[in-house]
Structure 1
Amino acid sequence: MEHLLGLLRIHIHRGVNLAVRDMNSSDPYVVVRLGKQKLKTRVVKKNLNPEWNEDLTLSVADSNLPIKLTVYDKDTFTLDDKMGDAEFDIRPFLEAMKMQLGNLPSGTIITRVKPSRDNCLAEESCIMWTDGKVVQDMVLRLRNVECGEVEIQLQWIDVPGSRGLHM
């Protein structure tokens, strides 16, 4: 793991207005993928606005790889249905980390990432200095589905002995 840059903690906050896949609701869960890594949240039963509030932690070796997020509807007897997907770029977040900021007032906005055709942001995403850490809040609009958004927050964890971001 000599190429490890560090760990990215993705807080999967909640889903908003997710698509209906079972009769009148869905049993959604989120899968996050980066390279060969794949992590998933628990299933929230019968809820189109689920609150997962779960942390998923990925090892990051290549900052250019996008992170893929997919929402699925848990089915008992058949394959789980897809309820849309999104992709996000962690480069703006890592650039903010590299600034090695310190002693900023909590709540200071370091960078704003605007929604564009090239990203899945539903609204402007702020990279902020909060309680001594750099965090990025994102609202991702799900693709390949009629509706739905997922709110997440990124946070970086430096690993002792890893290459780190200070290259």
Structure 2
Amino acid sequence: MDNIMGLLKVRVKRGINLVVRDVMSSDPYVTVSMGNQKLKTCVIKKNCNPEWNEELTLSVTDPSLPVKLTVYDKDIFTKDDQMGDAEIDIRPYLECLEMGLENLPTPTTIRRFYPSKDNCLADESAVVWQNGKITQELIVRLRNVETGEVELQLYWIDLRDSK
């Protein structure tokens, strides 16, 4: 436990235009993993635009490891079908935390990120100082699938100084 830098709170908000994997719809859930940690949301029945609004917490020991997001369709009698995946590099977000910007007016946009071939962003993303914390809102485009996006929010809890 001594090598944990902090906790990354990942709020999985919603899925957007997810693929159909069953006859008429899908029963999607999301797994969020980093290193050997793997967490998952609840299953939303028969919905290709689900709203999870669930917060999952990862312990971060190595910020160079990506956060991996995978969407699955829950099946009862067969293996769950994959509905796409994405990776999030948290290092740019953590760089904003290191700036020591706690005395800014709220809300203040600290940095913006744009979709590129090097990330899974579907739209512009901003790191924002608001109400005493730095968060990042993002929409990721799922890979290895015809269509689908997932909206997320990141929030960091630093454990390095709390000993």
User: TM-score if structure 1 supplies the norm length?
Assistant: 0.94
Whether the 8 Å CA contact 1:17–1:48 is kept in 2: the answer is: yes
Partner amino acid for 1:6? G
Alignment of 1:68-83 (within 5 A): 68-83=68-83
Deviation at 1:33, TM superposition (A): 0.7
Deviation at 1:159, TM superposition (A): 2.7
Give 3-state SS (helix, strand or coil) of 2:46's partner: coil
Residues of 2 paired with 1:85 and 1:124: CA distance?
19
Q: 1:162 to 1:118 in 2, by over 3 A?
A: farther
Q: 1:150 and 2:150 equivalent?
A: yes
Match of 2:7 in 1: 7
Structure 1 residue runs without a partner (length 5+): none
Partner amino acid for 2:55? D
Whether the 8 Å CA contact 2:28–2:44 is kept in 1: the answer is: yes
Give 3-state SS (helix, strand or coil) of 1:95's partner: helix
Deviation at 1:93, TM superposition (A): 0.7
Q: Extract structure 1 runs of 4+ deviating beyond 4 A.
A: 160-163
Q: 1:63 and 2:63 equivalent?
A: yes
Match of 1:22 in 2: 22
Deviation at 1:96, TM superposition (A): 0.6
Structure 2 residue runs without a partner (length 5+): none
Partner amino acid for 1:70? T
Alignment of 1:6-155 (within 5 A): 6-155=6-155
Give 3-state SS (helix, strand or coil) of 2:78's partner: coil
Give 3-state SS (helix, strand or coil) of 1:118's partner: coil
Residues of 1 paired with 2:61 and 2:159: CA distance?
12
Deviation at 1:160, TM superposition (A): 6.5
User: TM-score if structure 2 supplies the norm length?
Assistant: 0.96
Residues of 2 paired with 1:34 and 1:162: CA distance?
23
Give 3-state SS (helix, strand or coil) of 1:94's partner: helix
Whether the 8 Å CA contact 1:2–1:162 is kept in 2: the answer is: no
Give 3-state SS (helix, strand or coil) of 2:146's partner: coil
Residues of 2 paired with 1:137 and 1:21: CA distance?
28
Residues of 2 paired with 1:98 and 1:51: CA distance?
32
Give 3-state SS (helix, strand or coil) of 2:123's partner: coil
Identity among equivalent pairs (%): 63
Deviation at 1:29, TM superposition (A): 0.2
Aligned length: 163
